[in-house]
């Protein structure tokens, strides 16, 4: 009996295995030109996850994976351990080969490509003293990363990462001066980049030409990869995953700004740099009009913040004009419920409040603030006409303010207003001239032509003062610009003339912000103080009266004066430095709201 049951079980198991094999063969049947294939083949095509859709199919890579019978994960772990050992023993060629083998075993793991490219470009390159050797390993890391696009040509995150390598490693590294000199002449590397861009509309030579004719710039090459990445996403071919869309879409325009900024700092203050800033300004505004998904599931446009601000002001005024009287009544009710000491503290003018009263008033403010919905509730409780309209306006305002808050938070992530204003300023002839004067002054200072350097610097400061008056938003970030170093150099230059920078120097706040707590305040000279027109005229009249001889009565005996007073020069009250140039240029003060509004003006 037991033997029969055992046999029956074996038959059942055999039948089940056959059924499963048939089912697996059916659902995994490959697609042909006439047949859509099994369910798995259809799903791979629908979600674009087949090897042929992700990138090229490498026979060697597929053979390695099949020969491991599903143990490719174990093999990758073993190879990774070997790679680390090669890196410790400085066998960098074997390390690079092992990194490629790891990627071939699973070519669709994006982080493997990115990490090992970073390892070669950053960790290995720094082991060499000669910057040319470092440049070589930076190239090897980038080449390795670009190889990954052959297997993942619809992965915008990988393209964006490659753009970072071209931009940051060549443009922001300690050796950036040397790297940026080598890169434009590295024709072999340019050909390798172009091979990876084949099949796209992007050209290294034509689309990334820098200040040298026919020579690409690393920042503009980075821009090509970012443009390709955004194109893939916009066409629905790839996804950025959890990456912020606000950050992702900024890069094409931002790379133009990086290029313009780098060119100006290197002294290439030309029409190309100015044109790059002008194009960046236009593209940054287009970026502001690009519809972006938000974490709230609401599509947003960064430029809508200004439109919503106007809408909030208009609807808010309409609400206040119609129902402001009830807001005062609600406030009065809330105020009456406060303790007597708190009411007295609030009624006391701010300038006359004690510390205790200031604390009481500050704590009470949230409790007496009146929201629009409280006004609506008051009207409803007192059966006042117009409750429905008031409720509609309050809801519209609440939704609009919420949406504007969402947009402003996204704008702050990328410093949208600052870069819009910066590009708007940099594209003007005045800013180009101001930067050129600063650069020429620096060169004259290095050449020990101090008189010329001082003259050029002082011409530049006049222009920069006007720029910051027109674009006050830029003044706050000037300490991170090259201008702060130039002002510091100007102060050193004045020391050669046994002078110090004037306390009334219009850009001294930039120098103070850059130096922080180490800033040494210039010694205050009374004659440097700005003088009103009346005071200046009075002193001028006094000087003239001292110069003119006074008629004394003939019979009046001559009075003797102290030696110091009689020998004092008549022109002493009028110092040479008390000129219009020493008067401080008051920076225009604007609130955060007005700054945002101004920075978003199209022209």
DSSP class of 209: B
Residue 48: its pLDDT value, please? 55
**Which DSSP helix (H) or strand (E) runs through 426?**
helix 416-426
Question: If we measure between CA atoms, which residue out of 415, 404, 420 comes closest to residue 313?
Answer: 404
Q: How far apart are the first and last CA of the chain?
A: 96
Residue 10: its pLDDT value, please? 84
pLDDT, averaged in runs of 10, over the chain (603 residues): 75 89 78 68 60 56 69 89 94 94 88 94 94 96 94 91 95 94 96 92 92 94 96 91 94 96 92 95 97 90 96 95 93 92 92 92 91 94 93 95 95 94 95 95 95 96 94 76 86 92 88 77 61 46 46 41 39 37 38 40 40
Classify residue 12 as exposed, middle or buried by CB count within 10 Å of its CB (0-12, 13-18, 19+): exposed
Residue 579: its pLDDT value, please? 37
Looking at the DSSP bridge assignments, the partners of residue 361 are: none
pLDDT digits 0-9 by tens, 103-141? 888 888 899 999 999 999 999 999 999 999 999 999 999
What's the whole-model pTM score?
0.76
Give dist(CA 260, CA 276) in Å, integer: 6
The pair of structure tokens assigned to 457 is: 């610097």
């Amino acid at each position: 009996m037991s033997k029969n049951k055992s046999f029956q079980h074996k038959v059942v198991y055999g039948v089940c295995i056959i059924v499963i094999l048939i089912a697996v063969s059916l659902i995994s049947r490959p697609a042909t030109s006439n047949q859509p294939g099994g369910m798995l083949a259809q799903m791979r095509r629908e979600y674009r996850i087949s090897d042929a859709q992700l990138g090229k199919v490498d026979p060697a890579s597929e053979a390695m994976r099949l020969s491991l019978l599903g143990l490719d994960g174990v093999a990758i772990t073993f190879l990774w351990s070997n790679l680390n050992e090669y890196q410790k023993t400085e066998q960098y060629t074997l390390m690079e080969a092992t990194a490629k083998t790891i990627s071939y075993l699973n070519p669709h793991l994006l982080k493997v490509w990115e990490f090992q490219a970073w390892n070669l470009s950053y960790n290995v390159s720094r082991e060499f003293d000669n910057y040319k050797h470092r440049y070589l390993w930076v190239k090897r890391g980038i080449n390795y990363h670009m190889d990954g696009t052959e297997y993942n040509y619809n992965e915008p995150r990988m393209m964006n990462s490659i753009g970072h390598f071209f931009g940051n490693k060549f443009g922001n590294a300690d050796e950036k001066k040397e790297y940026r000199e080598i890169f434009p002449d590295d024709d072999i590397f340019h050909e390798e980049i172009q091979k990876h861009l084949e099949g796209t509309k992007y050209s290294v030579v034509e689309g990334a030409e820098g200040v040298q004719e026919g020579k690409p710039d690393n920042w503009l090459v980075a821009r090509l990869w970012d443009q390709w990445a955004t194109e893939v996403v916009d066409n629905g071919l790839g996804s950025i995953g959890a990456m912020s869309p606000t950050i992702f879409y900024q890069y094409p325009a931002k790379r133009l700004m990086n290029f313009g900024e780098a060119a100006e700092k290197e002294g290439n203050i030309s029409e190309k740099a100015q044109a790059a800033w002008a194009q960046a300004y236009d593209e940054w505004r287009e970026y502001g009009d690009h519809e972006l998904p938000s974490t709230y599931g609401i599509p947003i446009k960064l430029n809508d913040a200004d439109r919503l601000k106007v809408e909030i002001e208009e609807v808010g005024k309409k609400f206040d004009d119609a129902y402001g009287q009830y807001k005062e009544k609600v406030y009065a009710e809330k105020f009456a419920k406060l303790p007597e000491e708190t009411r007295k503290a609030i009624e006391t003018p701010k300038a006359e409040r004690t510390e205790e009263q200031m604390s009481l008033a500050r704590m009470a403010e949230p409790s007496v603030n009146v929201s629009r919905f409280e006004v609506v509730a008051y009207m409803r409780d007192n059966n006042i006409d117009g409750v429905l309209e008031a409720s509609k306006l309050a809801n519209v305002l609440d939704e609009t303010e919420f949406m504007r808050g969402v947009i402003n938070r996204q704008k702050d992530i990328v410093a949208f207003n600052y870069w819009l204003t910066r590009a708007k300023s940099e594209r003007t002839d005045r800013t180009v001239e101001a930067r050129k004067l600063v650069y020429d002054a620096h060169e004259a200072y290095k050449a020990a032509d101090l008189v010329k350097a001082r003259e050029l610097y002082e011409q530049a400061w006049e222009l920069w003062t006007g720029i910051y008056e027109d674009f006050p938003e830029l003044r706050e970030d000037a300490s991170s610009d090259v201008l702060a170093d130039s002002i510091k150099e100007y102060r050193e230059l004045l020391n050669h003339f046994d002078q110090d920078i004037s306390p009334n120097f219009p850009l001294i706040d930039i120098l103070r912000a850059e130096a922080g707590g180490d800033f040494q305040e210039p010694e205050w000279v009374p004659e440097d103080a700005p003088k009103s027109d009346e005071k200046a005229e009075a002193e001028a009249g006094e000087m003239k009266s001292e110069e003119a001889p006074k008629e004394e009565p003939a019979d009046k005996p001559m009075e003797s004066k102290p030696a110091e007073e009689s020998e004092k020069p008549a022109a002493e009250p009028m110092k040479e430095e008390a000129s219009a140039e020493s008067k401080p240029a008051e920076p225009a003060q604007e609130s955060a709201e007005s700054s945002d509004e101004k920075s978003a003006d199209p022209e």
